Chains A and B, each alone.
Chain A
Amino acid sequence: MAASSSPYVTLISNDGFEFIIRREAACVAGTIKKMLDPQSACALPFDVHAHAVIYTMRVTILTSQNNHSGVVLEKVCEYLYYNLKHKDEKDVPDMEIPPELCLELLMAADYLHV
């Protein structure tokens, strides 16, 4: 289980963008956390390489609407870090969400449980 102890996780969008983020941040998203948990039923088979690679099913849904899933996933990653950074703070300033992305992002957020 060398892979499971890797501090990084790669998220790949359907249009081919890869985002390498810290495992901690990735686990902010409930769905990814479940995927990474070897005990859980929806755990993914781990790659032999250092990274656990996640092909989020969600990404397919995102692209079915248009081809911006990379943009959406980027924003999701931004949020994961933003959430991690402000974990125990009070009165956290809201993250800016571009209006044109908000619906797609909402669907992604619903899927990822963030």
Chain B
Amino acid sequence: MSVKGRVSGRRAVNNQIRGPQSALTDFLASNNISAAQISADYERRQREARQQQEQEAAANGESVDQINDDERVEIAAQKKKRKRQQEKTLAKIKESKDYKRQKKRKDEGHDGENDDVAWDMYTKKKPLPGQLDNCENCEKRFTVTAYSKTGPDGGLLCTKCSKEQEDQKKKDQKSKKQAVSRDKRRHVQSNLLDGIVQIGSKTLQELCIKEVANNIHEVDEFGDLPQSLLNRLSQILSRRRVITSRTLDLFLRPDLETIDVYDCGKLETEDYIKLFSVVPKVQNLDLRNAGQFKDEVVDYVIERDVPIRSLQLEAANLVSNGKWAEFFKNCGHRLENLKLSWLDYSMDDDTFIGLVRHCPNIKRLKMKKCFRLGDSALVAMTDLTQLEHLSISFPTATTPGVLADLISSIGPGLRTLSLEGFSDTDDDALSVIHSSCTQLSKLRFTENDCCTDIGFASLFTNWSNPGLAFIDFSSNRSVDYAVPDGPEDPVGLASEGFEALMGHSGSRLERLDISSCRHITYECFSKVFDGKKQYPILKDINISFLTKIDTSIVAGMFRSCPELIKVTAFGCFKVTGVAVPKGVALIGVPNAQDSIVQEGDLDADLWQGLKV
């Protein structure tokens, strides 16, 4: 009743008989908007615009002509293109089966022109959805839908063939993506620079650690991950610089004895205090870039008597000299390893003397880039009788004699010795090393231009020390610009010294760095790496900036060192197109393209070829 009433009411307002109209028109009408009015308005606007254009055209006929000309040229070009395409398609049609069949039919009937048939097919409309057609691929009859795909020859495909074609397309796209993955290539090169040549897949651990690192912000706790994995995670997260107060928490567990954080740049003073309060039994502490490691943190360590035995701090410049002294006095007796680096504000000679007095048990000492240490510190070091590992690099100049005295007094106990940048030291130091060090396995002596080749040769001649596993003699060369080839009696590590070195340690050597020792001659290299002499466990060689080295020397190196995994050769411009054995990373050669990787062993023919 009520419905009827409403209907009749409407009729009363709009007393007309009309055809069906859309819901939109209905709605517009109810809001007093007329669809007819809108379309009339639109047409009027169009008409007006057209009239205006014509008027303008009449007013400046010339320019319009010109524009028209341009348009015409464009149109002509388009026309040409279209025609070309048309011809192409027609040619294709002429080759297709369908065409031949139709033509045959037509020929039987009456002899029309060839082109006509093709033309017919070209212009023939594709069947509309709902109609039947034969599939282009499988020739089956099927119902055309809006989703039917066009086949390679322009005909329609049935549902099954359509799907297959789509799948194929997707597959092609995917494989293309993988092939041209730039990021991937970048990654491989980056790994290569780190000396990692990967054959086979990564380990599951490595994959998982990466995934954890990628999702570090969603991890609430690590659970009881073993120390080695925590260390690896810390390395990755530090490299990505995401060790913050929050992520640090993940690494803190009361039962831990070792904490390694390789980038503390984002940690605050409170974070260090939190570290010691959560992990009160920490014994081995390694904090790099620890700029906010301040006096108050040291106070906390002293107060809680944290049992630190091994301490490595980098750039902890806000710890004052007085606080260092207090720390050594209270905690020094426990210290066995101490590594401090990049200290330019505190830690002077007097503090260091305090260190020596209070830390008699130090076995491993590393003082790098400590700007305020000098001769007095070296003198004081002679009292560290327990020392087994010493690594020093002082930015300030020191007296050669003092260093020689130090080595002669602690040398017999040393297992590793690293002297970086003692540029004024002369052959005396080398002869002291020769006479007093008898159980070294690692020796680094770099950036010196006073020691002579004879000095190096006599160091390695009849040395009672067994063969070294690690040798770094980089940048031992003459730096007189007036005499680029060096004086007649070679200065720095040159041919004689290098031969003596390889003769002495070759059989036990694992890592060798002779970068920038540019007075070693080509003859010497070809003698040492002749492909016959074997260096059975040599894994890592750095020959950067030895410009005399060429492809055949490097090839000889691959032959002489069966265990080689990494060769660093920056600035060796004569090394080109060398065949790199599988599993070896050759870094820094001029063209950064993929090196030619030799599968399996180098065979003799190739070897001969390289020699030439």
Contacts of A87 in B (CB 8 A): 200
Separation of A94 and B214 alpha carbons in the complex (Å): 14
Contacts of B205 in A (CB 8 A): 106, 109-110, 114
Q: Does chain A have a CB within 8 A of B203? A: yes
Minimum CB distance partner of A108 in chain B: B204
Beta-carbon contact of B223 and A89 below 8 Å: no
Separation of A87 and B178 alpha carbons in the complex (Å): 19
CB distance from B370 to the nearest CB of A (A): 38
Q: Do A114 and B211 form a contact, CB below 8 Å, given A91-B188, A107-B225?
A: no
Beta-carbon contact of B223 and A105 below 8 Å: no
Beta-carbon contact of B200 and A95 below 8 Å: no
Minimum CB distance partner of A83 in chain B: B201
Beta-carbon contact of A109 and B200 below 8 Å: no
CB distance from B154 to the nearest CB of A (A): 37
Q: Does chain A have a CB within 8 A of B42? A: no
Binds B, one of A1-9, A41-49, A96-104: A96-104
Separation of A104 and B188 alpha carbons in the complex (Å): 28
Separation of A67 and B229 alpha carbons in the complex (Å): 23
Separation of A102 and B225 alpha carbons in the complex (Å): 12
Beta-carbon contact of A76 and B204 below 8 Å: yes
Q: Is the interface of A mostly helix, strand, loop or mixed?
A: helix
B527-570: which residues lie under 8 A (CB-CB) from chain A?
none
Separation of A107 and B222 alpha carbons in the complex (Å): 10
Separation of A90 and B197 alpha carbons in the complex (Å): 9
CB distance from A87 to the nearest CB of B (A): 5
- Chain B: interface residue total (CB-CB under 8 A): 28
Beta-carbon contact of A88 and B200 below 8 Å: yes
Beta-carbon contact of B199 and A102 below 8 Å: no
Beta-carbon contact of A99 and B184 below 8 Å: no
Beta-carbon contact of A83 and B200 below 8 Å: yes
Q: Does chain B have a CB within 8 A of A40? A: no
Beta-carbon contact of B199 and A110 below 8 Å: no
Beta-carbon contact of B200 and A92 below 8 Å: yes
CB distance from B225 to the nearest CB of A (A): 7
Beta-carbon contact of A79 and B212 below 8 Å: no
Sorting the interface of chain A by its residue count into under 10, 10 to 19, 20 to 34 or 35 or more gives 20 to 34
Minimum CB distance partner of A105 in chain B: B208
CB distance from A67 to the nearest CB of B (A): 16
Contacts of A102 in B (CB 8 A): 208, 211-212, 215
Contacts of A65 in B (CB 8 A): 223
Q: Which of A82, A87, A103, A108 has the most CB of B within 10 A?
A: A103
Map CB proximity to A onto B187-207 as digits: 1 under 8 Å, 0 otherwise.
Answer: 010000000001111111101
Q: Do A97 and B207 form a contact, CB below 8 Å, given A82-B201, A86-B200, A90-B198?
A: yes
B195-245: which residues lie under 8 A (CB-CB) from chain A?
198-205, 207-212, 214-215, 218-219, 222-223, 225-226, 228-229
Q: Does chain B have a CB within 8 A of A16? A: no
Q: Do A97 and B208 form a contact, CB below 8 Å, given A65-B223, A103-B222, A110-B229?
A: yes
CB distance from A69 to the nearest CB of B (A): 14
Q: Do A88 and B204 form a contact, CB below 8 Å, given A65-B223, A103-B219?
A: no
Beta-carbon contact of B223 and A92 below 8 Å: no
Contacts of B198 in A (CB 8 A): 90-92
Contacts of A83 in B (CB 8 A): 200-201, 204
Separation of A99 and B216 alpha carbons in the complex (Å): 10
Q: Do A94 and B202 form a contact, CB below 8 Å, given A99-B215, A103-B212?
A: yes
Residues of B within 8 A of A (CB): 178, 184, 188, 198-205, 207-212, 214-215, 218-219, 222-223, 225-226, 228-229, 597
Interface contacts beyond A95-B201, A102-B211, A102-B215: sample of 19 additional A-B pairs, CB < 8 Å, sorted by A = A90-B199, A90-B597, A91-B184, A91-B198, A92-B198, A94-B202, A94-B210, A99-B214, A99-B215, A99-B218, A102-B208, A102-B212, A103-B222, A105-B208, A106-B208, A106-B229, A109-B205, A112-B204, A114-B205
Listed by A's residue number, 13 A-B pairs whose Cβ atoms lie within 8 Å are A83-B201, A87-B200, A90-B597, A91-B184, A92-B198, A94-B201, A95-B207, A106-B205, A106-B208, A106-B229, A107-B223, A110-B225, A112-B204
